[in-house]
Amino acid sequence: MIDATPMPGHPIAWAMVGGGQDSQIGPVHRSAAQRDHGLQLVAGAFDIDPVRGRQFGERLGLDAQRCYADYRAMFEAEARRPDGIRAVSIATPNNTHFEICRAALLAGLHVVCEKPLCFTTAEALQLLELSRASRRIVGVAYGYAGHQLMEQAREMVAQGELGEIRIVQMQFSHGFHSEAVEAASAAARWRMDPAHAGPSYVLGDLGTHPLYLSQLVLPGLEIERLMCSRQSFIGSRAPLEDNALALMQYRGGAMGYLWACAVNSGSMHGQRLRVIGSKASLEWWDEHPNQLRHEIQGRPAQVLDRGMDYLHPAARQEDRIGAGHAEGLFEAWANLYRRFALAMHATDRGDSLALGKIRYPDIQAGVEGVRWVENCVRSADAGGVWIDYR
Amino acid sequence: MIDATPMPGHPIAWAMVGGGQDSQIGPVHRSAAQRDHGLQLVAGAFDIDPVRGRQFGERLGLDAQRCYADYRAMFEAEARRPDGIRAVSIATPNNTHFEICRAALLAGLHVVCEKPLCFTTAEALQLLELSRASRRIVGVAYGYAGHQLMEQAREMVAQGELGEIRIVQMQFSHGFHSEAVEAASAAARWRMDPAHAGPSYVLGDLGTHPLYLSQLVLPGLEIERLMCSRQSFIGSRAPLEDNALALMQYRGGAMGYLWACAVNSGSMHGQRLRVIGSKASLEWWDEHPNQLRHEIQGRPAQVLDRGMDYLHPAARQEDRIGAGHAEGLFEAWANLYRRFALAMHATDRGDSLALGKIRYPDIQAGVEGVRWVENCVRSADAGGVWIDYR
Amino acid sequence: MIDATPMPGHPIAWAMVGGGQDSQIGPVHRSAAQRDHGLQLVAGAFDIDPVRGRQFGERLGLDAQRCYADYRAMFEAEARRPDGIRAVSIATPNNTHFEICRAALLAGLHVVCEKPLCFTTAEALQLLELSRASRRIVGVAYGYAGHQLMEQAREMVAQGELGEIRIVQMQFSHGFHSEAVEAASAAARWRMDPAHAGPSYVLGDLGTHPLYLSQLVLPGLEIERLMCSRQSFIGSRAPLEDNALALMQYRGGAMGYLWACAVNSGSMHGQRLRVIGSKASLEWWDEHPNQLRHEIQGRPAQVLDRGMDYLHPAARQEDRIGAGHAEGLFEAWANLYRRFALAMHATDRGDSLALGKIRYPDIQAGVEGVRWVENCVRSADAGGVWIDYR
Amino acid sequence: MIDATPMPGHPIAWAMVGGGQDSQIGPVHRSAAQRDHGLQLVAGAFDIDPVRGRQFGERLGLDAQRCYADYRAMFEAEARRPDGIRAVSIATPNNTHFEICRAALLAGLHVVCEKPLCFTTAEALQLLELSRASRRIVGVAYGYAGHQLMEQAREMVAQGELGEIRIVQMQFSHGFHSEAVEAASAAARWRMDPAHAGPSYVLGDLGTHPLYLSQLVLPGLEIERLMCSRQSFIGSRAPLEDNALALMQYRGGAMGYLWACAVNSGSMHGQRLRVIGSKASLEWWDEHPNQLRHEIQGRPAQVLDRGMDYLHPAARQEDRIGAGHAEGLFEAWANLYRRFALAMHATDRGDSLALGKIRYPDIQAGVEGVRWVENCVRSADAGGVWIDYR
């Protein structure tokens, strides 16, 4: 049970790039990072408008001198301080992730980055190399991965409770963009603009979430071939898609289906992971994260609840309150940030044994997300053909 | 409200081919056909074993003379009787449907046939021609189509309540064949044998059910291109598949996804239709057929219940009991057979106006199911490529 | 698996009193009684208006001579026929049940009676005596009891899977009479008129359904004390209640709660049985009758599905179609009528061994329903006080 | 949208009594109180063991001098500091709440107290008087009341969307104490010991939660008469109950039913509020707090989701993340503590207008919870009789 008493070696001095005024995701990062006192916000370059950014930082109680005009100034100034930041989170539009992440690693900082890391696999691999060379971690904000029942699913798969894995269904399909809301919403608009969003909308913005869940739960799966079909039901969104379906053939013959959609009218999130094995299936929906359905062929379907003694220890160690009480997305994020903070500390003290035990969406996960979108776009743009995954 | 008082001009003298001892589907046909006294069983060729077939017929209370050794004998003998049969249902293995259906039409009989009508579109079109020439109806046993909320869905689509249709999701994915149960079950075995089952297993046996529901609810959709990926997770089932996913591009740009699966471990039927429009979506599951989910973007999700006054009249006319009471699959079948019987009578009396108002899975629906399987197999066998639908 | 081939010794010649034109329940009785050819309708006194009743019977295909003006005439005339009826179902307003049932038994007929049997326990015990003396069965139309998962529940309780029984929750609470619909609906009106409905509305009309389910599933429970609180939220319904809650203390200390309500706005049936033991609970809702929830303390909750091999044989013997297919209320009724028919035949041939194995809502169940309403009304009318059950 | 930027006039210096090592509820208080920087923990008397308490406080990062041996020492010492605490939360066993709360108010502190405030209405009224006299607020930890959809429910009731209120169903019925777990669990043991827990177990510990929700949503209801039946299914728990049902008759004729239970085997929380009006009903379950069911009689049932634009502004102002994302109990608690902090500040600056707009479970709510338990026990101990509520 996490009881919010401090973790040894923490908090780590931390800053944000982006996530200022009117950002939805900024408060989530700050709440999660500081929930268990793993990180502590001491600096920031919150806004493209320096004045607004500084005012925002001051409202958060930061020293005005540590509210910077941009990330370059911040990394440089903080490096000169004895109490300077050791970690930074990047919550800016997609097109800036690569350069900020790269600069942060070059500045010797640990990084937590919003997905996607960047727009091309080549760039992602550069960051991977840089992360290794600089001995700094990069955590990726796949927040749903912090839900504890994903650990339960991973353990059940690992222990063979599902048998041989045959089919993986992934879905993130909401309806909030069924109409051209981007005309009135800046937050929606940049996501549909290739210059800011990159080569895809729903594949990257939505699809990589359940994709990462599948990678977390099924670490052995490797995509061999893939085909993707994408559409822009609101025509002005082209070339970016608001609906896409990807089929994956994994090495060994299992199949994966991923549906990402922003025009699924009337649906809330619609994020789901279903793993089908030769003996049993697991199913989980992010809107009801405290329940995991376990369906053994020939036996009554079961519903597992977070916090219960029958769960694997790995699915219990981040409990914050007893079973029956609803934990939500903020707890999942806090779990992730807790692991990021633990991984930073283990890295800093060179404790590779400890580091190896901390599971979190890391730079490799970030690379894989970028690679997957790239392959999907390559297939879709070739007319929805099967391609060898690379 | 259907009150089981007789329909004018009915019952129609009726026979079965197949559906004898140990058949699961035989009793369903008989129960449905006679529920509203639309048809009355007076003859049969129930079994490939003539003695067993005659004994079975006698147990049903039939005149022993009208329990025939085979369908040919039956059609011939009944044609000579003044009270001979006017309709026949075919509930035999798939590979016999074509010849029996053809013979029945040639004998001037109305037909109710288990799906698939036959194995090729060319054959199906022959039956279509024959049906027209002989002025006899062919009804196809897409039993789920008799659930009244499908009429509600059709009406809502027709009246524009969903807006422009964008995505259609179809699914029939159970887990009962996750293991090679066909080793011990004859009923499973023939379904996986191309000689008896035809060119597919789950595409035809499962997939055509929700496919027909989509055609019923969305009469305007026309498939333009299609791709299909199929697998045999139990290797001995090859070349027939136990899992398949088909993507359809409809004329005008809407997309369809259909997942058929018999290895979805732990799932019961898993039959679903979801229709997504620009304003709202509809979702229906055959295991809870009295509820239809209506999700309007930006408004609270709604659950419609069978039997309620807010439904369209078309979804009320086959009520058999008040709202709240659970109707089930037997009622859906009975509704279909009722319509079959009404269509037979309208045809016989040349009442094309009445006939036009009776909606049922007809010979055209049968053709379309065969055509769809044929296209799916063609795509899958070419490596899962997009093909022009034909 | 029930396959609708005839049962030896059946069908039994059968008539109805009531259930004619515009009756909702009449068609349900006829459909259920004849589904498995256990009974066959050959006569009737369908209507208080003799002409309308005869016309109705003729529409059902009956011999006009066997469409009688009233039950007395029918019992007398049929007794003189060699092929006369041996059984009768009573589907008339409540206030006539006693006299018709009594007359039927005196005429040597088996009876299926709508609940309540009568208005007082004293009357009910008269019928019980008469039933024994005449060696005729009386079945009571607690239709939901025919759902097979109730047999599963009974077996699980009997085998101790729930541990010691502590709490029983019963509920039948719909919202269809939230407004004074009786002003416009004759079907609703008589249920709220003491002269026709007896001493209660929702207690008798709704509450006795889940009460009987509890008696079926928990045969060992015996009510020791009871208190009941009832209200008429639509004032014009007084003295009859449209809402009631009864608390029961069973011998041994278990507690029962039964909520009957017709003003539960927006609820469909809302019929539920939940049985709580020291180890586990069971929960079942009549609107989704193919699922039974089994909650073992400290383990994942389970959902059992009708038709599955893991069920007890007693819960499988009336399967009509494989698991996954939705059976509904009509199947439950047909199962009951099948048992009624089997019990009639076993009684007639004096086969008490066979009779003992047939479980159905019998005259004793009918007595207990009347007794329970009587006790509830006695408590409620005394101000909602605890009374000794008698 | 709450964005976790500081609130003017906050944080308020705050301490805890209790909630130390191994406390489940302690971390919840601290997380909630500091989430929005409304309060800041600066002192504590965390444990009955002073050394353990001080060590715990130091681990939380507190100044060792402000980790006190007991609440008396703390109130006295802090009062002498210029930066002393202005608020305190009480998370100790029930039997100490009264004296600590009283002492805190006498020390001029604002208080947040775990329920129950105390064991008798007389004591509770003393605290109420003291709170008024000292011009300090007392917030009560009815954490579920912070879920935003409760505000939605209140607004819908207030605007007449349900019509006249007829029936209120409240339930908190888990299964975690189906066995005598108190033998091994200290946390369970004191709850069943009258010396520490007071006159009831489940009525006070569980039942007052949904009771307060009903008071929040239905401010106009006033209990006129009440009857309560309680049992100890684990005999050693007597005289405290592990199961209870209370019936309430409200002034004007509406009825309330509240079921509190700790032996509901296999159930998780089982906390529910259902409000039934003459036109519509609302239903909410705390385990899925982002959904509120709205059932209008004669129309399709609706499911409202947290965060959506169709909700009333009062149900939107504490959004922390967009619709679709699962908020949980921690957000509900944080919302409450935010309101506590705002109410403290408004009180301190004498802004009664602002104070009047802040809705939170206040001293009056605390009084009403104690009063309700007292009445329930009085009725139950008299044999489950109706009593006039006082």
User: In CATH, what number is assigned to the domain containing residue D128?
Assistant: 3.40.50.720
Residue A320's φ and ψ, nearest 5 degrees, are -115, -10
Of the candidates D30, D61, D328, the beta carbon closest to that of A326 is on D328
Interface check for D233 against chain C (CB to CB < 8 A): the answer is yes
Q: How many CA atoms lie within 13 A of D341 on its CB side?
A: 26
For the question of an ipTM over 0.90, the answer is yes
Spatial contact of B257 and B229, defined as CB atoms under 8 Å apart: no
Owning domain of residue B381: 147-321+366-388
Round to whole Å and give the CA distance between A52 and A60: 12
The DSSP-derived string for A64-86 is GGGB-SSHHHHHHHHHHSTT--S
CB atoms B243 and A166 under 8 Å: yes
The verdict on a CB contact (< 8 Å) between A330 and D329 is no
Phi, psi angles (nearest 5°) of residue C250? -85, 155
A302 near C301, Cβ under 8 Å? yes
Using the Cβ of C308 and the Cβ atoms of chain A, whether some distance falls under 8 Å is answered with yes
User: Please, which residues have CB within 8 angstroms of residue A151's CB and are 6 or more apart in sequence?
Assistant: A312, A314, A315, A359
Percent of chain B beyond pLDDT 70? 100
Q: Which two tokens stand for residue C78?
A: 């049929």
- Please tell me whether residues C23 and C132 are part of one structural domain: yes
Q: A9 CA to chain D: closest CA distance, Å? A: 12
The partner residue sitting opposite D326, judged by closest CB among A24, A324, A329, is A329
Contacts of D282 in chain B (CB under 8 A): none
Mean pLDDT for chain D overall: 96
Helix (H) or strand (E) holding B250: strand B243-250
Cα end-to-end distance, chain D, whole Å = 41
b/e D68-82 (16+ beta carbons within 10 angstroms → b)? beebeebbeebeeee
For residue B4, is it within any domain?
no
Sheet holding C39-45, edge to edge: C39-45, C12-18, C87-91, C110-113, C138-140
* Residue of A325, A327, A335 to mutate, interface with D, max D Cβ within 10 Å: A325
pLDDT at position A5, please?
74
What DSSP assignment string belongs to B171-188?
A: EEE--TTSS-GGGT-HHH
Residue C162 lies in a domain: yes
Compute how many other C-beta atoms are within 10 angstroms of the C-beta atom of residue A348.
16
User: Which of C177, C297, C299 to probe by mutation at the D interface, max D CB count within 10 Å?
Assistant: C297
**Do C27 and B286 lie within an 8 Å CB cutoff?**
no
Angle, CA D27 vertex, CA D25 and CA D33 arms, to 5°: 100
If asked whether residues B139 and B211 sit together in one domain, one would say no
Contact C299 A305 (CB under 8 A): no
Looking at the fold, whether C113 and C223 belong to one and the same domain comes out as: no
Report the pLDDT value the prediction gives residue A254, as an integer from 0 to 100.
98
Over residues D43-51, the mean pLDDT reads 96
User: Is it the case that residue A276 has pLDDT exceeding 90?
Assistant: yes
Instruction: Give the percent of chain B with pLDDT over 90.
Output: 94
Q: Which of A126, A143, A160 is the last residue of a domain?
A: A143
Q: Does C219 touch chain B (CB under 8 A)?
A: no
Per-residue pLDDT tens for A210-263? 999 999 999 999 999 999 999 999 999 999 999 999 999 999 999 999 999 999
Could you give the CA distance from residue D13 to residue A352 in angstroms, rounded to a whole number? Answer: 41
Task: Tell me whether residues D300 and B309 touch, CB distance under 8 A.
Answer: no
* C308 chain-A contacts, CB cut-off 8 A: 298, 300
Please list every residue in chain D whose beta carbon sits closer than 8 Å to the beta carbon of residue B310: 298-300
Residue B285 has a pLDDT of: 98
**Chains near D, with 3+ CB pairs < 8 A?**
A, B, C
A99, A108, C150 from A67: Cα distances, Å: 20, 20, 68
Chain B: closest CA distance from residue D316 (Å): 15
Q: Examine the fold and report which residue of B143, B168, B203 is the final residue of a domain before the chain moves on.
A: B143
Q: What are phi and psi of D34, to 5 degrees?
A: -100, -5
**Total CB pairs under 8 A between chain A and B:** 121
Residue B383 forms contact with A (CB below 8 Å): yes
Average pLDDT, chain B: 96
Same-domain status, C101 and C185: no
Chain C residues 310-329 within an 8 A CB cutoff of chain A:
310
Q: How far apart are CA A54 and CA A31, in angstroms?
A: 19
Q: Please indicate if any CB of chain B lies within 8 Å of the CB of A188.
A: no
pLDDT at B4 over 70: no
In a domain, B352, yes or no: no
* pLDDT computed for residue B188 by the predictor: 85
Q: What is the DSSP annotation of C39-86?
A: EEEEEEE--SSHHHHHHHHHHTT--GGGB-SSHHHHHHHHHHSTT--S
Do residue A328 and residue D323 have CB atoms under 8 angstroms apart? no
Whether the CB of A107 is below 8 Å from some CB of chain C: the reply is: no
Residue range D265-275: average pLDDT? Answer: 98
CA distance D304 to D153: 10
Check B265 against A255: CB less than 8 A apart. no
Whether this model's pTM surpasses 0.95: yes
Q: What is the pLDDT of residues A281-324, one digit of tens each?
A: 999 999 999 999 999 999 999 999 999 999 999 999 999 999 99
CB of D297 less than 8 A from some CB of C:
yes
Q: Mark whether C139 and C151 lie in a shared domain.
A: no
Identify whether the C-beta of residue A240 lies closer than 8 Å to the C-beta of residue A232. yes
What pLDDT does A4 receive? 66
CA torsion through residues B148, B151, B153, B156, sign: negative
Nearest to A46 by CA among A90, A110, A105, A101: A90
Residues of C in contact with D255 (CB under 8 A): 229, 231, 243, 245
Question: Sheet holding D87-91: strands in order across?
Answer: D39-45, D12-18, D87-91, D110-113, D138-140
| Alpha carbons A75 and A15: distance in angstroms, whole number | 10
Contact between D193 and D232 under an 8 Å Cβ cutoff? The reply is no
Residue of C nearest to A304 (CA): C300
pLDDT tens-digit series, residues C2-45: 876 778 889 999 999 999 998 989 999 999 999 999 999 999 99
* Same domain assignment for residues B379 and B230: yes
Q: What is the pLDDT of residues B346-355, one digit of tens each?
A: 999 999 999 9
Instruction: At B187, list the tokens.
Output: 């009923």
What is the model's pLDDT at position D4? 67
Which residues of chain B have a CB within 8 Å of the CB of D310?
A: 298-300
Size of interface C-D (CB pairs under 8 A): 120
Q: Does B247 touch chain C (CB under 8 A)?
A: no
Last residue of a domain, one of D118, D143, D168: D143
Cross-chain Cβ contact C300/A298 below 8 Å:
no
The position carrying tokens 């004390």 is C225
Based on the fold, state whether residues C139 and C32 are members of the same structural domain: yes
- Check whether residue D45 and residue D72 sit in a common domain: yes
> Which pLDDT tens digit goes with each residue over D322-350?
999 999 999 999 999 999 999 999 999 99
Answer whether residue C204 is part of any domain: yes
Is-contact D265 C281, C-beta < 8 A?
Answer: yes
Distance from CA of A18 to the nearest CA of D (A): 14
Of all residues in chain B, the one with the smallest CA distance to D308 is: B298
Does a structural domain hold residue C359? no
Using an 8 Å CB-CB cutoff, list chain B residues near C59: 5-6
- Distance (Å) from the C-alpha of residue C266 to the closest C-alpha of chain D? 4
pLDDT above 90 covers a percentage of chain A that reads: 94
Q: Report the candidate in D294, A355, C184, A175 with the shortest Cα–Cα distance to residue B277.
A: A175
Q: Is there a contact between A178 and B297 if contact means CB atoms under 8 Å apart? A: yes
Is the pLDDT assigned to residue B186 strictly greater than 90? no
Q: What would the pLDDT profile of C190-214 be if each residue is shown by its tens digit?
A: 889 999 999 999 999 999 999 999 9
As a whole-number percent, the residues of chain D with pLDDT over 90 amount to 94
User: How many residues does the structure list for chain A?
Assistant: 390
Residues C129 and C173 in one domain: no
Indicate if D86 and D69 belong to the same structural domain: yes
Is C176 a member of any domain? yes
φ and ψ at C148, to 5 degrees? -65, -30
Mean pLDDT of A354-383: 98
Residue B257 with chain A: CB contacts under 8 Å? 245, 259
- Please state, in angstroms and rounded to a whole number, the distance separating the CA atoms of residues D44 and D53: 8
Looking at the fold, whether A71 and A159 belong to one and the same domain comes out as no
Phi and psi at D230, nearest 5°, equal -135, 155
Alpha helices in chain D (DSSP H): 25-35, 50-59, 71-80, 97-106, 121-134, 148-158, 186-189, 194-197, 202, 208-217, 329-348, 352-357, 363-381
Calculate the average pLDDT of chain A. Answer: 96
User: What's the rounded Cα separation, in Å, for the pair A89 and A20?
Assistant: 12
Across the interface, whether the CB atoms of B300 and D300 are under 8 A apart is answered no
Answer whether residue B333 is part of any domain. Answer: no
Answer whether C175 touches D (CB < 8 Å): yes
Q: Do D295 and C175 touch (CB under 8 A)?
A: yes
Q: Is residue C326 part of a domain?
A: no
B70-95 residue pLDDT tens: 999 999 999 999 999 999 999 999 99
Q: Which of A300, A303, A304 faces C310 most closely, judged by CB atoms?
A: A300
- How many domains does chain D fold into? 2
Taking only the tens place, the pLDDT of each residue in B276-295 is 999 999 999 999 999 999 99
Give just the sign of the alpha carbon dihedral D213, D216, D218, D220. Answer: positive
Question: What's the mean pLDDT in C251-260?
Answer: 98
Q: Give the mean pLDDT of A176-180.
A: 97
Q: Which residues of A touch C303 (CB under 8 A)?
A: 300-303
A84 and A113, same domain (yes or no):
yes
pLDDT digits (tens, 9 = 90+) for A191-211: 899 999 999 999 999 999 999
Over the stretch D193-220, which tens digit does the pLDDT of each residue have? 999 999 999 999 999 999 999 999 999 9
- Judged by a CB distance cut-off of 8 A, whether residue A185 touches chain B is no
User: Which among C302, C304, C308, C309 is the top mutation candidate for probing chain A, defined by the most A β-carbons within 10 Å of its own β-carbon?
Assistant: C302
